Amino acid sequence: MTFFDIFLLAVAAYFAGVANAIAGGGSFLTFPALVFTGVPAIAANATSAVAVFPGYLSGALGFFGELKDVPKRYLVLLLGLSLAGGVLGSLLLLVTPATVFAFVVPWLLGFATLLFAFGHRLTAWAERNLKAEGWTGNAATLLVCIYGGYFNGGLGIVLLALFSMLGLRDINLMNGLKNGMSFVLSGASVVTFALAGIVYWPQALLMMVTATIGGYCGAIAAKRLSAATMRALIICVGCVMTLIFALKG
């Protein structure tokens, strides 16, 4: 890595940590930064997943009180589906040809940006119009987790919409489950990517450190910078990155 690469990755991960602490969307910064510093797209996606992985645990622990009230069998089921989906999604990424992934990246970024921009409306619509119970709910959960294992962008929004379909209404409980499931499926993906040898560890470790610092600073900044402002900035970044990758492709 050159000095510029180190600087770019450190800054991108720092602001990704800030963004995730306030409004989410940090992968819109980490993934493009890795690609722009020469990391192949598939490896960049895997390395980005490693970089933002630790933040999910702290987020889940913040809602530990709410998670304790979830029936154990139901919680085990959700976490089990998260584990299976994370493995399946990451394996799907590993067997995707590099040229195919390069082609779908702009579509994935665009999809994730739209999810991020209209997430609240999506969740409200799902609450009003969609219901999933029994095996249909489990199948929907598994599909969402497979998407998260394949490409992490917009995962939190999709999970919140899923919880609305499943009949959950307590936003604190939903956020706790979102972070807990994200931690499990991301952990499964990280292990799979590590065993496959596609993680760029120097970049990943650097970004994990600065993302953690950014997450702490983001918690402080959240008291001064509105989530709406941060969301607007992230949406702009997502649109620009989608356009750049589309033109590059």
pLDDT at 58 over 70: no
| Mean of per-residue pLDDT scores for the chain | 81
Phi-psi region of 102 (alpha: psi -120 to 50; beta: other; left: phi over 0): alpha
Which pLDDT score, from 0 to 100, does residue 63 have? Answer: 66
Q: What is the pLDDT of residues 104-155, one digit of tens each?
A: 888 887 877 777 777 667 667 766 765 656 677 788 889 889 988 888 777 7
Q: Which of 147, 140, 185, 182 is nearest to 164 (CA)?
A: 140
Give residue 158's Cα distance to chain centre: 10
Specify whether the CB–CB gap between 25 and 116 falls below 8 A.
yes
pLDDT at 85 over 90: yes
Which pLDDT score, from 0 to 100, does residue 219 have? Answer: 60
Q: Which amino acid is at 8?
A: L
Q: Which amino acid is at 9?
A: L
pLDDT at 95 over 70: yes
The rounded distance, in Å, linking the Cα atoms of 196 and 129 is: 41
Which of 10-24, 105-119, 195-209 has the highest mean predicted lDDT (pLDDT)? 195-209
Domain range for 204 is 3-248
Banded model confidence at residue 89, pLDDT cuts 50, 70, 90: very high
Number of domains in the chain: 1
Q: Angle 160-142-62 (CA atoms, 0-180°, nearest 5)?
A: 40
Banded model confidence at residue 212, pLDDT cuts 50, 70, 90: confident
Choose between 196 and 219: higher pLDDT.
Answer: 196
Q: What is the pLDDT of residues 230-246, one digit of tens each?
A: 677 777 877 877 787 77
pLDDT at 5 over 90: yes
Q: How many residues does the chain have?
A: 249
Banded model confidence at residue 90, pLDDT cuts 50, 70, 90: very high
Angle between helices 134-150 and 72-95 (to 10 degrees): 40
Phi-psi region of 134 (alpha: psi -120 to 50; beta: other; left: phi over 0): left
Q: Which of 167, 90, 85 is nearest to 129 (CA)?
A: 167
Give residue 33's Cα distance to chain centre: 16
The mean per-residue pLDDT over the stretch 161-166 comes to 76
Which pLDDT score, from 0 to 100, does residue 180 have? Answer: 82
Q: What is the pTM of this model?
A: 0.78
Q: What percent of the chain has pLDDT above 90?
A: 26
